Amino acid sequence: MIYEQTGGNPDAPLDEWSIHPPSPCTGDILDIEGKTNPGETIGMAVSFTIYTPVIDNEYRYVFKNIRIPGGSNSFLVRSQKVDDLNFIVHMFVDFKRSFDAEGGIAEFFEKNVPAGNYEIVVEGNAQDGEKEVKIDFVATQTIKADEEGNFYHKYDTSALPDGEFTVKIGDSKKIITLMPAN
């Protein structure tokens, strides 16, 4: 999986951190907590990969109600086995960016995305003969520890597909399996 610099101090010491519930379902709110230096700012990245089918040489995946936090954040989408990538955001108005692929890979990266709830469509043309397209997603943000070094963050999983995803805090990562909602 791809990881971009998540901001914060990359050399910050990180004591053990945890995610609750340990076996979440789609739609659960994850409580992420841990300890570092007092007042430290550390980076957090959430990443996952999906495989979406190709129909009539086109691929499409829709995320509904993606919540982007304010502050220092970034969002990366990388499609593989494609000719191009269209990244469409629906909020108050539609915003569309298109990218051609190099070597079958097209990518969109944006920093400091305004806070809000978005619908995001990732679509485009697959390479000839492909039956599915691999799409990697990485969202990053910073988390600030309190005056005692404790950090706490709530992460909403309702926009994520079931399956494995990775949460990375500083240089430490945990793989979580998100079960389908009941």
Nearest to 68 by CA among 121, 112, 38: 112
**pTM score:** 0.88
- H or E segment at 72? none
From first to last of its 182 residues, what are the pLDDT tens digits of the chain?
Answer: 444 445 666 667 787 899 999 899 999 999 999 999 999 999 999 999 999 999 999 999 998 888 887 778 898 999 999 999 999 988 777 789 999 999 999 999 989 888 888 889 999 999 999 999 999 999 999 999 999 999 999 999 988 889 999 999 988 999 999 999 87
CA atoms within 13 A on the CB side of 124: 32
Catalogue the E-assigned strands of the chain. 18-20, 29-35, 41-53, 58-68, 73-80, 84-90, 94-100, 105-111, 116-125, 132-144, 150-156, 163-169, 172-178
